[in-house]
Amino acid sequence: MRAAAKLAGRKDFGYQRSDVLVTAGRKVRLMKTIASCVRNKMGYSDKVRRLAELLNFDLPDYNGLTYWRTRKMVTDAVIAKREVQRMAAEHRALWLDRMAQEAATLKPGSDWEKILKQMISASKQKVTNKRLNSIFRPEWSSLDYIEVPNEVWFLASNGEELYEFDNGIFIAHQQIDERVFESYGICKVLPPDAIVVNVEATEEAIYVEKPPEHDPPKPSWRTVDNPAEMQEWLRRRNKRHLNQMHVEERPPTRVEFQKILAEHGTSEIALGILNGTIDPASLGLDEDATKFIAGLAKNIEEKGLSMPRQMSTKDFQAAMKVTHEDTSSSASGLHYTLWKTISEDDDLSAIHAVMISLPFMYGFVCNRWKKIIDCMLEKKPGVRKIHIMRIICLFEADFNTLLKWMFNKHIMPNAEKSGLSTNQWGGRNNRSAPACAMRKLLSWEYARFTKTVLTSFLADLQSNFDCILHDTYVDDSDTYATAPETNTAEEAVTNLEKNSQLWVILAMLTGQLLAFHKCMWQIIFWISVAGEYLMASDRNIPGELLLKDSRGKQHKIKRKPATEPNPGLGFLLCPNADQKYEYEKRLQQAQEIAQRVSKSTLPPRDALLGLKIGVIPKICYPWTTRFTTKQLKKLEQSSTTSSFNELDSIETLQE
């Protein structure tokens, strides 16, 4: 497999095979061989003559050739080949069409004729998909540079937080007194209005010199485009980023928790907790952690659940079949193409199904699985600042496939049998984002209809996927609270604070941390005016939401007016039922799509397909919310009439 991967790595790949492409490739090889013969002054070799005969190419007079002329011949052949590669799909469709006609003539009604027709259809579909993807998918480019700050210490404009640049990450230090800050800090994004300051750091605290009152210095950034320097910066950044839970000494890193988590969670203490044979109160944990650990004990039904460790041949073949061949993977070079090819053979599939299962059956680690590739993506398009980037880890293809099989076929079904909350939405089958958004919408609708006070806390966890075990991963959550006894804002805010603090505690106990600066809360409240209940404006509603972190420090959560949307699940829903923001977002999206399509030259049939699978799903995605008839007509106009210049042709096709 490694030899095949290395051989494929030295060739052009990813193009659809055709006779024209093969001829162009042979022409390049012929020109390179001629150039080699001229450079070495050895005359035409037998290989040159065989290739020329195969291509029906008339060899020029050898004595009239110079090396520079042969290099020009090579360049021309390469350019011609690239042009063929650009149109590879079209050439393949024509080639298969000719082969199908020949098969129909020689062997009418044969399976070979049917297979060729299927191949032609697939080739044409690839051409169409390539055209549509170039229109509807956003543009991307390789990471050819990053930006790092020239300074180290920065002060927020309100003076409440001090930021330190540490190996590609910004650490936020909380204020103790005027220009005095804690030495302890947590990872946080540098605010855009921060200024550069000078500090004196000690073990106890950090002292900030008074910045100039007029025109304080702003952060400056330098561009790093040297590949070796970029790699070093990103390596340091990712190491600091992935170690933040340990650096910040969150609860799972403490001694009393480490006894439980020893041996990767397979210690005698961990097994005793799961089996219910150890009293959590004897572990020396605080009250919250003790209650959390007590809840991990398995009940009778959970003890009866099984977890297979060996993958069957059919499971291996099915898992590889559903994986897209274009998926990137593997530091070793074993691409998904090789694994998908192996899965076509029953004997090879049986062998590899056993081989990738052995580490899980006997508890050892495959050395090849220890290496991953960290890929850096832009979190915000066009922003290359080192701290605002996202890590994507590429595992070995077989290891990643086995993990998917275990999670989808066994872990999640067992979790469903264990009694997951009906309000847990992400990562579960048959639960879509629009359906979840509809639940949120109906919650606010019901509160408005019944004139009930309703509050919500929108929690966002910090770098969550990089801090915890992924089977406990929950990134975004909403907490709702009402006032069942008095229907007052004070009672609702009190209940919301209590329930939100419980969520904060649960997150902290699993190594997570709320990004308090990104969290927000909203409330709708009613006042009686002339016998009618009217929604109160935000300034007339009392109350603050204060939450404590694992160190006991209070954080004031910002309140967002009910007239503004809370983004989530791809929607912009307002508690007061105003869908202006969602409508404006979808209208802009429709106009952008229309602009892209108007610049393209799509055949009518491709344009109709793009309308059905590219435009309508994107624009119709949020229509479970409330749009007026006028708004819907304007969206329709943007996504159809202005998108396609050949609308008459499309209507003809529809008829």
pLDDT digits (tens, 9 = 90+) for 371-396: 888 888 888 888 899 998 888 888 89
**Strands 554-559, 520-524: parallel, antiparallel or unpaired by DSSP?**
parallel
Rg of the Cα atoms in the chain: 32
Neighbours of 130 (CB within 10 A): 11
> Would you say residue 162 has pLDDT above 50?
yes
Q: What is the pLDDT of residues 18-39, one digit of tens each?
A: 888 889 999 999 999 999 988 8
Q: According to the 3-state scheme, what is the secondary structure of 318-377?
A: HHHHHCCCCCCCCCCCCCHHHHHHHCCCHHHHHHHHHHHHHHHHHCCCCHHHHCCEEEEE
**pLDDT tens per residue across span 293-344:** 998 898 888 888 888 888 999 999 999 988 887 788 777 888 888 898 899 8
What letters, b where the CB count within 10 A reaches 16 and e where it falls short, cover 66-103? eeeebeebbeebeeebeebbebbbbbbbbbbbebbeeb
Q: Which of 139-143, 446-450, 544-548 has the lowest mean pLDDT?
A: 139-143
pTM of structure: 0.72
362: CB partners within 8 A, 6+ apart? none
Contact 363, 369 (CB under 8 A): no
pLDDT at 249: 84
pLDDT in the model for residue 141: 74
Please indicate whether residue 454 or residue 635 has the higher confidence score (pLDDT). Answer: 454
Q: For 562-579, what is each residue's pLDDT tens digit?
A: 889 888 887 888 888 888
**pLDDT at residue 643 in the model:** 46
- Higher-pLDDT residue of 103 and 28 is 28
Mean pLDDT of the chain: 83
Confidence of residue 233 (pLDDT cuts 50, 70, 90): very high
Residues 618 and 593 sit within 8 Å (Cβ to Cβ): yes
Answer with the residue of higher pLDDT: 641 or 287.
287
Question: Could you give the 3-state DSSP secondary structure of residue 87?
Answer: coil
Give the pLDDT confidence of 550-563 residue by residue, as tens digits: 888 888 898 999 88
* 455, pLDDT greater than 80: yes
Burial class (CB in 10 A: 0-12, 13-18, 19+), 488: middle
Quote the CA–CA distance of 334 and 328 in Å, as a whole number: 10
